[in-house]
Amino acid sequence: MHIEKDAFFYVDNVINFLTEPNEYILLQNGTLFLYPEEGDKIETSEVFLSTNGWFGIHSNWKNYNYRGNFEAKNIEIYATSGYGVYIPNSQNITFINLTIHQCGGGISIQNCENITIDHTYIYDVLDYGHYITKSDYVVTN
């Protein structure tokens, strides 16, 4: 193989290559390494990453206590059998610049409040692009 100056390639799953906020590596044993944003504190942070292929981002799966106060941005989600984003029983959540494709559905929001979806591109999904029910103060752009 010959690699030229302007060739495009990437290296995956090398811990030392985490150099930008929100880059991550998920090891086969379930350990998640995440490069934090400036000001993040481990004591007050939670990270959720689906490993079953059902959802791309999910919050509060089978838990009826409200969760929230997080932002997801600049993420591509593809090839899930369920929704790219599934958020029930949550509040104060923002999604910016998401791309969701080749999934069972786009975004499902149920029984939530204060949700913002901004500059999100959803295509090639089998079900709804947005499914929003029993929720207050949801803004989509």
pLDDT exceeds cutoff 90 at 116: yes
Q: Are 61 and 85 in contact (CB under 8 A)?
A: no
pTM for the model? 0.62
Calculated CA dihedral for residues 49, 51, 34, 14, nearest 10 degrees: -160
Residue 87 confidence class, pLDDT cut points 50, 70, 90:
confident
Query: Does pLDDT of 62 surpass 70?
Result: no
pLDDT, greater one: 57 or 54: 57
Residue ranges of the domains in the chain? 11-47, 53-140
Q: According to the model, what pLDDT value does residue 38 have?
A: 83
Q: What is the pLDDT of residues 88-111, one digit of tens each?
A: 888 898 999 999 998 899 999 999
Distance from C-alpha of 80 to C-alpha of 4, rounded to nearest angstrom: 34
The predicted structure's pLDDT at residue 51: 54
